[in-house]
Amino acid sequence: MGKRYRWYWLCLVIPLAGCSILEEYIRPKPVIPAQWQASLPLPHTGKVASLKDWWAQFHDPVLDQLLLQAQQESPSLELALSNIRAARANLGSAYAQGFPTLSTTGSFTESKGANAALGASTVKITSGTLDASWELDLFGKVRAGKQAAKAQLESREMAWHDARISLAAEVANNYVNYRACQDTVSALQQAWGSRRETARLTGISSGAGFTAPAELALAEAATRASESTLDGQQAECDGLVKALVALTNLAEPELRSVLARGKGMPQPAMFDVQRLPAELLTRRPDLVKDERNLAEASANIGVSKAALYPSLSLTGSIGYRQTTINGMVIRGQTWSYGPSLKLPLFDGGASRAAVEADRATFDNLLATYKQDVRNAVKEVEQALVNLNSATRREQSEGASAAQYGQYFKAAELNWKSGGLDLLSLEDARRQKINAELNVITQKKTRVLQWIALYKAFGGDWQEQAGQKRD
């Protein structure tokens, strides 16, 4: 009868052994354009650099130091790393589900008592048990759990890359804005000094009776207004320093010392943007992260579907017991083995609801992935448009500023000779200052748009994927 019993279970297990109910995951292929619609930037020298070590190609030691410091002291990166460690632990737990479990227990007791048969007696009992259990993966539940955990780990790794790229771009944006702010302060200081000199000369002329008091009032008012603008711009620069303090965790005096080592707008190297839009799906870590989240959700559907089917476990136990009564030893061994079948019959629809919930999660993540792909294409297209516009405008504003500078010099000479009134001179000065500030703005915008294109294109994470993260 025992042999028949074992054969019965074997016949039950063999047909089920390959009955995985997992659905094959197919990587989605969102509809995207075949090529970029915006004009691609053309290098002035005919040379295009690689994205690898792109930040180093700025040749700005101050920026390099700020980026390194931010990477070392970033809570967002620390959070991403902790998520990776948790995902690794989860993957280890998922793989452990496919192996048998072993556990052992042991005990020792000693007691003293008396009864009619033995009289006063001392009883010592020593026992130990080894238990084993193994759940067979009949319907792919364990395999689906492994796939889900592996996809989750890959998603967390992509989240780290995405956080690193975003952090670098944020530091660089604030640094570029700070350098542009400094250039603006320098231009406004020159304008303030020029107006102070005009006010001084106007005061001398007015004191001698050659200039009306109204013109002196105008000159002094223009000087005060210029001073106010300069103060406001300096406050903006100080605000950018505070932002860099928060990003790098450097003490402000130390940060200001670092910033003082450099001067002027950093210049990025051009990089190859000839790749097709479809390559964004593998270049951008946020899109790879979305796709891995989708793979995890697909595997989770398999896990919840497997819960609808029977589960079979093989269990066994070996035990040993030694009893000593007044020096007399009694030894005994026990063992047991056999399968255990769990068959879900009725749970009020909870298991099927779990499957539907996982399917809804998959659909939600699929829609998110499609939307993020569209946004990625849009970001690249917009960055290309803005970059080309900023490059052309920088050239136009530079030529305009040169002409306004010549115009102001002529107006100033004419004013000093008495051929031009102060109001006309101030109008010429205002146009010159605005033109100079426009040049600074366009230079800044061009660099910022290169950074935006770098970020939109997925950064350089593929070249640096081998870096040690923890």
pLDDT score of 225: 86
Q: How many CA atoms lie within 13 A of 28 on its CB side?
A: 23
pLDDT score of 21: 67
Instruction: Say yes or no to pLDDT of 400 above 80.
Output: yes
Do the domains at 21-98+144-309+350-456 and 100-136+310-343 have one common CATH topology?
no
Comparing 439 with 468, the larger pLDDT belongs to: 439
pLDDT score of 64: 92
Residue pLDDT, tens place only, 342-369: 888 887 888 899 889 999 999 999 999 9
DSSP 204-219: HHHHTTSS-HHHHHHH
Please identify, in words, the CATH class of the domain defined by 21-98+144-309+350-456: mainly alpha
pLDDT score of 312: 82
Mean pLDDT of 186-204: 82
Q: What number does CATH give the domain 100-136+310-343? A: 2.20.200
Mean pLDDT of 182-199: 84
- Contact present, 217 and 252 (Cβ < 8 Å): no
Instruction: Say yes or no to pLDDT of 273 above 70.
Output: yes
For residue 113, the cross-strand partners are: 121
Instruction: Say yes or no to pLDDT of 463 above 80.
Output: no
pLDDT score of 469: 42
pLDDT score of 44: 46
Helix or strand or coil: residue 311? strand
* Sign (positive or negative) of CA dihedral 238, 244, 245, 250: negative
Q: How many CA atoms lie within 13 A of 360 on its CB side?
A: 6
Categorize the per-residue pLDDT at 281 as very low, low, confident or very high, splitting at 50, 70 and 90.
confident
pLDDT score of 288: 92
Residues 66-77, buried b or exposed e (16+ Cβ, 10 A)? bbebbeeebebb
User: What is the share, in percent, of the chain residues with pLDDT greater than 70?
Assistant: 89
Categorize the per-residue pLDDT at 119 as very low, low, confident or very high, splitting at 50, 70 and 90.
low
Instruction: Say yes or no to pLDDT of 465 above 90.
Output: no
pLDDT score of 246: 94
Instruction: Say yes or no to pLDDT of 229 above 70.
Output: yes
Indicate the average pLDDT of the chain. Answer: 83
Domain boundaries, the chain: 21-98+144-309+350-456, 100-136+310-343
Residue with tokens 């013109």: 215
pLDDT score of 38: 80
Comparing 189 with 276, the larger pLDDT belongs to: 189
Residue pLDDT, tens place only, 136-170: 878 888 888 888 999 999 999 999 999 999 999 99
Residue with tokens 């589960």: 311
Comparing 437 with 463, the larger pLDDT belongs to: 437
pLDDT score of 466: 44
Residue pLDDT, tens place only, 2-60: 444 444 444 454 455 455 567 788 888 888 888 888 877 755 444 556 677 889 888 89
Separation of alpha carbons 91 and 87, rounded Å: 6
Separation of alpha carbons 329 and 311, rounded Å: 43
DSSP state of 49: B
Q: Where do the H-state alpha helices sit in 285-420?
A: 285-306, 350-416
pLDDT score of 286: 92
- Contact present, 144 and 299 (Cβ < 8 Å): yes
For residue 133, the cross-strand partners are: 101, 315
Instruction: Say yes or no to pLDDT of 470 above 50.
Output: no
Mean pLDDT of 223-231: 87
Categorize the per-residue pLDDT at 467 as very low, low, confident or very high, splitting at 50, 70 and 90.
very low
Token reading at 80: 């991403």
Residue pLDDT, tens place only, 403-461: 988 988 998 898 888 888 877 887 888 888 888 888 999 999 999 999 998 898 888 87
Instruction: Say yes or no to pLDDT of 115 above 70.
Output: no
Global pTM reads 0.81
Mean pLDDT of 315-336: 83
Separation of alpha carbons 399 and 378, rounded Å: 32
